[in-house]
Structure formats: structure tokens, C-alpha cells
A and B are shown apart, each in its own frame.
Chain A
Amino acid sequence: MITFENVWKKYSKELFRPAPAALQEVSFSLQQGQTLGLIGANGAGKSTSIRLLMDFIRPDKGAIRLFGLPASNLSQRNQIGYLPETASFPANLTVLDLLRFTGATCGLPAKTSKERGEQLLRELGLWEARSKRLSTYSKGMQQRANFVLALLNDPQLLILDEPMSGLDPLGRGQIIGLIQRLKQEGKTILFCSHILGDVDRLVDQLLVLHKGRTLFNGAPATLLAAENASNIETAFLSLINHHLSEHYAA
């Protein structure tokens, strides 16, 4: 469903300062129904990978394919639900305005769009606030509104950029529950997160990035065994420490 082949990405240079590559020769693939967790420290290249998948930015080298088509091809967008890292809505709109927009651009009939929108708004506890401006929503409400918009077209693939960031424990629990339900429904999910405990509970496959390079790509159990750790957090820290000590030794 997703193929990332030897992708390189360098952002444009600042004056007199060469920019390091944000991604270097990163490759991975994700099959239908799987959940991939993209983890790494700040600046590892997680958000760059997601922006490349969404065609917001273009790779310098390599190829990215979604549903067998180049990422720039619009015909597969109907099948994708995207959750941005930070809620970013036009200031004066309501969630209903954006639901109408999403329904119209995804080619959903108005009736279907309305019914599904109402069901999702009720499910995520936003029905009462549906006519309020999105700028008045709390962080958690904005994140849930983003989920409503991402799920309106019943997508096959979900790309979630830090879905739990900035949420309180209640909000986090609700979003984890939602992702687990979507996983059970057979959706393909790619998400990145700093909160490794959440990743532990959700993923079938892990991709660990560090400074734009792939440190690990495989099943979580393989990483735990390789690093002789009991949970993902410890395994991740151990992997990074090994990498750093090898780097300094070299």
C-alpha cells in the first residue's frame, strides 16, 4: 500500500550554512491492514516522511508510491485520511464547514456526507460544539475534529502525524481506543509518535529513524530481542545509544 524507495530529502540551504539531509536513503513498505509506527527523536525525519507521503514536499531522490501510484497522483487521495501534527484550520470556520468541504472534494453525496459527519461528531463528542468556530476549540477538541475530517471519507489508509501530542490522559485514551478500533476494522495505519508507550500498544511494524537515517525496520518483537529489552522505550534508547557509540568510535 505504501512504498518508500531510497528516498533522500534535503531542505533548501540557509545563507552560508549547508543544510544536512533530512532523510538519507530511507526505504520501507507497508502492506494492507498493517500498522506502522514511525519513531525517532526530534529532527529524525518523521514529519518529513509524512509530508513526502502526502506530497506536500517532493523527494530529491527516490520514489514514493501509494496504492501503486506516485504520491503526487490525486486519484488515490480519496482513500487516505490525514491527521496533521498541529490542528491548522482557517480561523473563522466551523467543523461543519470543513465537513462540507471534505465531502464535496472527496465526491461524497451530500446525504452520505451529512449522515457520516453526524455519526462521527457524536462518536467523538463534538456534536454539541459543531457550530462553534474551530479557533475556540481546545487542543483535544481540535485533534478530535481533525479525526472527524480524516475519517469522513472512510479511508483505507490513515496517515497520522503525532495523533496523541498535547492531549490529556483522557483524550489520549480516547484516541488510542479509536486507532485500535480502526486497526480491527482492517485499516492500514501509519503514524508517528514521541510517546513510545502508545506505539508499543498499537503497531505491527516499527521504523526507527535517527538524523534522517533508518536505524531499524521490522517487527517490534525483533527490536526487543535484538536490544534485549522489555519494552519499546528501553529498546529505542538502547538502539540510539549503540548507534551513537558506534558513530563516535568511528
Chain B
Amino acid sequence: MLRKIWSLAELVIIDGLRRHALMGLVLLAFGLEAGGLLFFDFIPRDIGRASADFILSIGWLTGFLFLLFHAVQVMAWNEGRRTVHTLLARPISRTQYVLGTFLGLATLLILLNGILGLLGYGILSLIQNSVKLGGYFPQLSLVHYLLSWTGLFCIELMILAVILLFSGLVRGGFPVLLLTVSYYLICTGLPVVRNAFIAKPGNDTLHIDSTLQWLTAIFPDFSRFDFKALVTSEPSGIFLQHFSTDLLLMVLYLTGILWAASIVYQHRDLQ
């Protein structure tokens, strides 16, 4: 079973690596990250934090563009051009198709994050060495830097799994793109709504807070995986414990969403 899933993932990876648009996206992100070397001189203080924020935001933006304009399209093209018929004519189940496609796209995301992360670390090191006053860039923690990219990757994986689910539920790339953007906006907006609700006294009688909390099981709080602010601080053991709990929840979430996507694909007619 794993051989079949990996064979399909390989096709997705090779197809993605040969796409000129993706090469262009990587080059654009390269250029933007390298641009950090030019602009940090204009930051009056806290250069370390601003630069790390900048590098990771570019990483996030690139990953998001990859998800919306490659991952969504891969699924839509497979159905629209009936490539899925060519693939499923082999002894490969629809669950294996979902998992193979997910694995292939996730591997491309790892490659993308790896390349941009490596370049970003080099740029941050250069900036740190260029800053004369140590207080403006006191620390560049490799552990926290890697953790920040892992956090980004976790968010991207959750969105990717949801894209596969939406692609099974609705036909066409554009509706899936709209649903994905809506999902992302709800995920980012829900914690803000919860905080606003908790801040008002006497609101807990309507059980709205617990409803909002349960909604995070469907629309996860992505800010729990946002560690940009830690890149320039000391490593902390307590924090890592929280992260491992979130990681476990993320794995459960991915399993649930991919299981749902497989069920949807198994029970529907292909286009």
C-alpha cells in the first residue's frame, strides 16, 4: 500500500518540480528574502525581531500562494482533464489517491520551506553580524528558528488537507479556492472573536464561549503555530511541551480531515 501511495506522490512531486510557475514562485521568494538585506538599515531598533518577522512572513506568503495556486489546481486539473482516470485505472484505491496526492504536495511544501528557510537563516545571520549594537539583535536561536518554520509547515499541512477535502466536495478550482480562503479567514478570525467575547463580563450564560471553543476543532487556531516572535529569544522547555501537545492535536486533525476526504472520494462519481 505504501509503495502505491509513494508512487503517486512521486508523480505529484516530479510534476510540481517541472512547473515553471513554481520555479518562478521560488525565485520571487528568494528575491524578496534577499531584499531583507537592503531594508533592515531603515529599522531604528529591534532589528532582529523585525527581520525574523519579515523572513517568516515571506515564507508564509509563498506557502499560501503555493497552496492556493498549485495545490488547488492540481486537484482541479486531475478531475477537469480526467487525469484522475489515468491514475485510478491502475490498481490504486481512492484513499491511496488522496493520501498519495497529499504526500506529494506535502513533500513539495517541505522542499519549498527548506530552501526558503535555509536562505532566510543565512540572511538573518548576515544581518546579525552587520548590526553594530548587540541590543538591537541580541539572539538568533536556531532551535526557535527551526520551530518557527515547523509551525508554518504545520499550518500549511492543515490547509492542504482541507483543500483535498473541499476538492472532493465541490467541483472546479475556483470554488475550492474561495472555500479555502474563507476557511483560512474563519481560522484567523475565530480566536479574535473568542477573545472579544471572553473580555465582556456576563456572556458565559449562553454557552457561546464553549461553542466557539468547540468550533476550533473544525477551524483550528493557527496562531498557536506562529512562533515568529521567538526566533530572537532564549529556548524554553515549558514552551516546547505546549508545542508537542499542539503537534499531537494537529496530527489528529490531519488524520480526521484526510479520513473525511477519503470517504468523500470513495462515495462520489468522478467527473
A residues with CB within 8 A of B: 11-12, 51, 54-58, 74-75, 77-78, 80, 82, 84, 86, 88-93, 97-98, 100-102, 104-107, 133, 146, 149-150
Q: Kindly list 5 other residue pairs between chains A and B, CB separation below 8 angstroms, not including A101-B11, A101-B87, A105-B4.
A: A51-B270, A74-B91, A82-B85, A88-B82, A92-B18
Q: Which 7 A-B pairs have the closest CB atoms?
A: A77-B91, A92-B18, A82-B89, A104-B7, A57-B269, A105-B90, A88-B82
Q: Which of B10, B90, B270 has the most CB of A within 10 A?
A: B90
Output the least CB separation between B266 and chain A (Å).
9
Does B169 sit within 8 A of A, measured CB to CB? no
**B residues in contact with A146, CB < 8 Å:** 86
CA distance in complex: A11, B269 (Å): 9
CA distance in complex: A12, B77 (Å): 21
Does B14 sit within 8 A of A, measured CB to CB? yes
Output the least CB separation between A31 and chain B (Å).
23
Q: Are A54 and B86 in contact (CB under 8 A)?
A: no
CA distance in complex: A51, B93 (Å): 15
**B residues in contact with A101, CB < 8 Å:** 7-8, 10-11, 87, 90
Out of B14, B89, B91, B93, name the residue touching A92 (CB < 8 Å). B14
CB within 8 Å for A56 and B269 given contacts A89-B83, A100-B7: yes
B residues with CB within 8 A of A: 3-4, 7-8, 10-12, 14-15, 18-19, 77-78, 81-83, 85-93, 269-270
Q: Are B91 and A90 in contact (CB under 8 A)?
A: no
CB within 8 Å for A57 and B270 given contacts A100-B7, A105-B4, A106-B90: yes
CA distance in complex: A241, B85 (Å): 35
Q: Which residue on chain A has the smallest CB distance to residue B90?
A: A105
CA distance in complex: A89, B15 (Å): 10
**A residues in contact with B87, CB < 8 Å:** 101
CA distance in complex: A84, B83 (Å): 10
Q: Are A105 and B92 in contact (CB under 8 A)?
A: yes
- 6 residue pairs of the A-B complex, CB under 8 angstroms, read A51-B85, A56-B85, A82-B85, A88-B83, A90-B78, A101-B8
CA distance in complex: A197, B56 (Å): 64
Q: Are A58 and B90 in contact (CB under 8 A)?
A: no
**A residues in contact with B91, CB < 8 Å:** 74-75, 77-78, 105-107
**A residues in contact with B89, CB < 8 Å:** 54, 77, 80, 82, 84, 150
Q: Are A89 and B92 in contact (CB under 8 A)?
A: no
**B residues in contact with A80, CB < 8 Å:** 89
A-B pairs with beta carbons under 8 A, tally = 87
CA distance in complex: A105, B89 (Å): 10
**B residues in contact with A90, CB < 8 Å:** 11-12, 15, 77-78, 83
CA distance in complex: A106, B113 (Å): 33
Q: Which residue on chain B has the smallest CB distance to residue A56?
A: B270
Q: Are B82 and A97 in contact (CB under 8 A)?
A: no
Output the least CB separation between A112 and chain B (Å).
15
Out of B3, B7, B82, B93, name the residue touching A86 (CB < 8 Å). B82
Output the least CB separation between A225 and chain B (Å).
37
**A residues in contact with B92, CB < 8 Å:** 74, 77, 105
**B residues in contact with A82, CB < 8 Å:** 85, 89
**A residues in contact with B77, CB < 8 Å:** 90-91
Q: Which residue on chain B has the smallest CB distance to residue A79?
A: B91
**A residues in contact with B81, CB < 8 Å:** 88
**B residues in contact with A12, CB < 8 Å:** 269
**B residues in contact with A105, CB < 8 Å:** 3-4, 7-8, 90-92
CA distance in complex: A92, B22 (Å): 12
CA distance in complex: A75, B90 (Å): 10
CA distance in complex: A104, B270 (Å): 23
**B residues in contact with A104, CB < 8 Å:** 3-4, 7
CB within 8 Å for A93 and B14 given contacts A56-B269, A74-B93: yes
CA distance in complex: A102, B270 (Å): 20
**B residues in contact with A58, CB < 8 Å:** 269
**B residues in contact with A107, CB < 8 Å:** 91
CA distance in complex: A92, B11 (Å): 10
CB within 8 Å for A93 and B3 given contacts A56-B269, A77-B91, A102-B90: no
Output the least CB separation between A76 and chain B (Å).
8
Q: Are A88 and B14 in contact (CB under 8 A)?
A: no
**A residues in contact with B3, CB < 8 Å:** 104-105
